[in-house]
Amino acid sequence: MSVVELTGVTTRYGRQLVHDHIDLSIRRGELLALVGGSGEGKTTLLRHIAGLSTPTSGEVRLFGERYDEGPYRTRRSRRQRFGMLFQHGALFSALNVFDNVAFPLRELGGLHEDEIHALVMSRLALVELDPHTAWQMPAQLSGGMVKRAALARALALEPELLLLDEPTAGLDPDRSAGFVRLVRSLHDSLGLTVVFVTHDVDSLLALATRVAVMADRRILACDTPEEIMCLDHAFIDTFFRSLRQRDEPITPWMR
């Protein structure tokens, strides 16, 4: 069974057509990268998957069910099965890291504060943040620490599906590589399905098992990085040009 199934997804904003009958199936356990030029609607598609926006027509199914299907308890339970990391972290600036990570746990209800404390600290350890980071404010954190704190919050409810919007944007090469290693480690240890939007070729090659290329308002192709790189298309040529211009071929997907 597919974790995410998009069928005939069309998105319009007034006269602007963003998606034109997009079909995409995301399998359990894979790491799928969404790439495409500016304005192709990658983040919008990610928001449709998360239920933060609704396509004009077509269907989005998570775990075999429509996002809006069933009574409130069923829909709430479905929402708890995925977590999302926004591009800039989107931490609540007025809350410290502990309360940011605790937020979805408190919203869930039914947990004692001692249980919440234990869960928050375990999530911070999971993303390799020191315990004292829990009491810092977002403004006191580096860009890399913000990403990790936001990732801890996305993992708070032990999701099966993780959605990442530009996870390495704004990070220097070393921090970007460290974050990629962390995501791969979490994928392997927790059995996550990961869908991520990226413009970073190195991050894509280090993570993705499949790449969905968005062009001309559709999914142009969805295949392994090796197969995608062989396609003759202007965007693909531009996207992978820096890799092709390196002196030595780099194929980190051959792990």
Same domain, 48 and 150: no
Residue 250 has a pLDDT of 47
Q: Virtual CA dihedral for 86, 92, 98, 99, nearest 10 degrees?
A: -120
Q: Which of 153, 21, 47 is nearest to 97 (CA)?
A: 153
Look at residue 181 and tell me if it is in a domain. no
Domain enclosing residue 106, as ranges: 91-158
Look at residue 117 and tell me if it is in a domain. yes
CATH number of the domain that residue 225 is part of: 3.40.50.300
Same domain, 4 and 99: no
Bridging pattern class, strands 218-223 and 210-215: antiparallel
Look at residue 12 and tell me if it is in a domain. yes
pTM value? 0.91
Question: What are the residues whose beta carbons fall under 8 Å from the beta carbon of 42, sequence distance 6 or more?
Answer: 34, 35, 36, 197, 214
Same domain, 69 and 170: yes
Phi, psi (rounded to 5 degrees) for 206: -80, -20
Report which DSSP code applies to 197: E
Report the side by side order of strands in the sheet with 57-62: 16-27, 2-13, 57-62, 65-66
Task: Give me the amino acid identity at 76.
Answer: R
Alpha-carbon 251 to chain mean position: 22
Task: Render each residue's pLDDT in the chain as its tens digit; 255 residues.
Answer: 789 999 999 999 999 999 999 999 999 999 999 999 888 899 999 999 999 999 999 999 999 988 778 888 888 888 889 999 998 889 999 999 999 999 999 988 888 999 999 999 999 999 999 999 999 999 999 999 999 999 999 999 999 999 999 999 888 989 999 999 999 999 999 999 999 999 999 899 999 999 999 998 999 999 999 999 889 888 888 888 766 555 545 454 434
Task: Give me the amino acid identity at 53.
Answer: S
163: exposed, middle or buried (Cβ count in 10 Å: 0-12, 13-18, 19+): buried
Same domain, 245 and 167: yes
Q: Which helix (H) or strand (E) holds 65?
A: strand 65-66
Residues in the chain: 255
Q: How far apart are CA 233 and CA 112, in angstroms?
A: 55
Same domain, 154 and 39: no
How many domains is the chain partitioned into structurally?
A: 2
Same domain, 151 and 168: no
Structure tokens belonging to residue 33: 């990268």
3-state secondary structure 112-143: CHHHHHHHHHHHHHHCCCCHHHHHCCHHHCCH
191: exposed, middle or buried (Cβ count in 10 Å: 0-12, 13-18, 19+): exposed
Q: How far apart are CA 187 and CA 207, in angstroms?
A: 10
